[in-house]
Amino acid sequence: MGTPASRRLSRERLAPVPGRRRGRRLFGRRDGGVPLLLVLLLFACNRTPEKPHVILISIDTLRSDHLPAYGYRGVATPAIDGLAADGIVYEHAFSHVPLTLPAHASIFTGLLPAHHGVRDNAAFRLGEKTPTIATMLRSHGYATGGVVSAYVLRSATNISRGFDAYDDAIETIEGAPTGNLARPGRAAIDNAKWWIGALRPEQPFFAFVHIFEPHAPYEPSYDGEIAASDALVGELLGSLRAKKLYDDALIILLSDHGEGLRDHGEQEHGVLLYREVLQVPLIVKLPRNARRGTRVREAVQLVDVLPTIAAVTGVTPPRHDGRSLLEPSSRPIQSETLYPRLHLGWSELRSIIEWPHHLIEGPKPELYDVARDPRETSDIRDSDRRTFAKLRRDVAAATPPAWQRRIDPEEEKKLAALGYVSAQAPSTQASNKNPREHLADLDALKQVTELMSSRRFAEAATLIERLLASNPGWTDLRDQLGVAYEETGDLARAEQTYRDAIRTTPELAPEFALPLANVLLQRGAIDDAEAHAKLASPEAAHEMFARIAVARGDFVTARHEAKLAKSDFLLAQIFLAQNEPQAALVALQRIYSKKKGLPRGYFSVAGEVFLRLGRKEEARLAFMQAVQLHPGDRRSRERLDSLR
């Protein structure tokens, strides 16, 4: 839980930084132009070496109370312990939202979610002109490089604003949940070390390194992944020491949010707002290890990171909602989650921390004294009515007028033209369902997942329909239902399911637009498919536009879009449509040689290719595999019958 619905994603490996050359894949590799390393060397002139290097390390989903630096004894983390000994440990640091993309947007911008506008992992992007840590430091002579391990932090979300280089080469798998699309932290650490090592010694730099572990699924356990992450951090810090960069650098280690671990019923994160998902580790090592070994008890927050970096580097920060961590002072901390409303049709939740009190505002408000009751087991709203009333007034005053988010005006026009919303229609209506009281419904997802994984799609569809009857706003279920109907060959019901999802939650229309366009294309509604593909982000829609161009016989456009999508599978289909089966086979062999997830329809296309090449036995085997994987694939079944 805590991740958006599964989507049919393009196989795009690395989205270019907006405004920069396309085609750059990893740090330092050529794209037909000037090598990145040479660019950085050219940038290095006129740098002032006295500027401290800045390294920001984000360990995804890391609870502070599962670290020895915060008193935990269940795992050993020598690298983080060493950094804590050299720096400042903030004992009570909090995130503003228990989701990766919006939390990192707050880190990078110093703004609360309502101010930077990124409220969920799905269908939200950072504004094109929103200042970030990277834009701030780059404008003051810093080289800026980012390496991430999760697909939700891909460049297409604009979270990469201000980076000279941004490595988001996450392998996508068709049908996989976007929140689980990630790569091991090892790749991020290796690429970050390479990038830092390629810079000239006097070049001041800002390096952002994101490690996905200990995000679910845990291997072998949550604490085990924490230990693995610590080892990676130790390797990065060791590299900095070897290059004599460690002592004079500003190094910040933090997490975007914590993990539920069933403390209040939620296993992962995104739905509830208890301390276990909001409190995060925050360690700041200053240049020359100033103030080493310090511990700060005042409550601080992730929006404080940007002004802290500005203070240490001596640059003027953009407008922000935080304060420098070098002068901490307890003040109200706001948090939110719209995930229950957008994805589950339940109520959103808000919270405010005025240390030591934590108010969770929702259908059934709760108040806790987290100093006396850190596990938040005793609701004191009835015994401390004065504090309860004050914090409710404060959270109401802190809630911006735009809390009930409206759809982007341009997107709203597109939706209205397609008949989904009327002009100026309000966004999804709020629900009064208390998320904590409905967590048991989430357990039913396990059964749905098991049925889908075992390809029992008809049974899955029946179960999902039953769940939707009591949870009509559960958009994640509609996505699964659409996939189930597609797999059984019921394209009419699949189309209706995706259309219902857009009507139910128009804010997430870009997420449902591509699977709907795919169904429409299969049904021969080419123009309608194109109109829906235009609802999706341009970076994600290249594959669909290529397939639409093939359907129209426009192979020039098809090849262009396929190259933008970086899809060998698309190229294979285009070659096949142009009666070039040998070229199609080469493209298919490239996919197979990667030994990774094969795209849906791979064996069906392979069968057609073998037929064109006159290799009937291989064609028969391919179609047999296609029918076994996708019983609703009528064309492959017909081909198989003709070959028997």
Task: Dig out the tokens for 248 from the structure.
Answer: 């004079």
Q: Give the mean model confidence (pLDDT) for residues 141-165.
A: 94
Distances (CA, A) of 601 to 132, 210, 572, 625, 636: 41, 33, 12, 10, 9
Task: Dig out the tokens for 289 from the structure.
Answer: 């290890």
pLDDT category of residue 438 using cuts at 50, 70 and 90: confident
Task: Dig out the tokens for 279 from the structure.
Answer: 């409190």
Residue 26 has pLDDT above 50, yes or no: no
β-bridge mates for residue 282, sequence order: 254
**Lowest mean pLDDT, pick from 156-170, 409-423, 572-586:** 409-423
Task: Dig out the tokens for 99 from the structure.
Answer: 């989701």
Domains and their CATH numbers in the chain: 51-330 (3.40.720.10), 406-535 (1.25.40.10)
Report d(CA 153, CA 149) in Å as an integer.
8
CB 178 within 8 A of CB 204: no
pLDDT of residue 400: 59
**Lowest mean pLDDT, pick from 95-99, 105-109, 349-353, 474-478:** 474-478
Q: Give the mean model confidence (pLDDT) for residues 246-269.
A: 96
pLDDT, tens digit, for every residue of 100-109? 999 999 999 9
Which amino acid is residue 19, in one-letter code? G
pLDDT of residue 404: 52
- The set of residues, in sequence order, having a beta carbon less than 8 Å from that of 482 and lying 6+ positions away, is 494, 497, 498, 501, 512, 515, 516, 519
Residue reference for tokens 């970086």: 566
Q: Give the mean model confidence (pLDDT) for residues 431-443.
A: 86
Q: Give the mean model confidence (pLDDT) for residues 196-216.
A: 92
Q: Give the mean model confidence (pLDDT) for residues 4-9.
A: 32
Report d(CA 377, CA 370) in Å as an integer.
10
Report d(CA 165, CA 181) in Å as an integer.
21
| Residue 292: other Cβ atoms inside 10 A | 13
Nearest in space to 246 (alpha carbons), one of 288, 298, 282, 212: 288
Report d(CA 51, CA 40) in Å as an integer.
17
Which amino acid is residue 174, in one-letter code? E
Residue 153 has pLDDT above 50, yes or no: yes
HSE-up of residue 518 (Cα within 13 Å, Cβ side): 25
CB 23 within 8 A of CB 177: no
Report d(CA 108, CA 58) in Å as an integer.
11
Q: In what order do the strands lie in the sheet with 349-354?
A: 333-337, 349-354, 357-361, 366-369
Residue 630 has pLDDT above 90, yes or no: no
Task: Report the run of H or E that residue 76 belongs to, with start and end.
Answer: none
Q: Residue 643 burial by CB count (10 A; 0-12/13-18/19+): exposed, middle or buried?
A: middle
- Residue-averaged pLDDT of the chain: 86
Nearest in space to 195 (alpha carbons), one of 253, 236, 223: 236
Q: Give the mean model confidence (pLDDT) for residues 292-301.
A: 95
pTM score, two decimals?
Answer: 0.78
Residue 498 has pLDDT above 60, yes or no: yes
Q: What angle do CA 504, 505, 507 make, to 5 degrees?
A: 155
pLDDT, tens digit, for every residue of 557-611? 998 998 888 888 889 999 999 999 999 999 999 988 876 678 888 999 999 999 9
pLDDT of residue 595: 67
pLDDT, tens digit, for every residue of 28-75? 333 333 333 333 333 333 333 479 999 999 999 999 999 999 999 999
Give me the DSSP letters along 58-71: EETT--GGGSGGGT
pLDDT of residue 32: 34
Percent with pLDDT over 90 in the chain? 64
Report d(CA 40, CA 17) in Å as an integer.
16
Task: Dig out the tokens for 593 from the structure.
Answer: 């040689």
Residue reference for tokens 């397609």: 418
Nearest in space to 537 (alpha carbons), one of 12, 105, 168: 12
Distances (CA, A) of 270 to 76, 175, 260, 273, 511: 27, 21, 9, 8, 18
pLDDT category of residue 306 using cuts at 50, 70 and 90: very high
Where on the phi/psi map is residue 357: left (φ > 0), alpha (ψ -120 to 50), or beta? beta
pLDDT of residue 57: 98
pLDDT category of residue 23 using cuts at 50, 70 and 90: very low
Residue 492 has pLDDT above 50, yes or no: yes
Instruction: Give 124 or 286, the one with higher predicted confidence.
Output: 286
Task: Dig out the tokens for 592 from the structure.
Answer: 């197979």
β-bridge mates for residue 92, sequence order: 299
Cα Rg of the chain (Å, integer): 25
Distances (CA, A) of 209 to 246, 253, 278: 15, 10, 21
CB 460 within 8 A of CB 452: yes
Q: What angle do CA 590, 595, 600 make, to 5 degrees?
A: 75
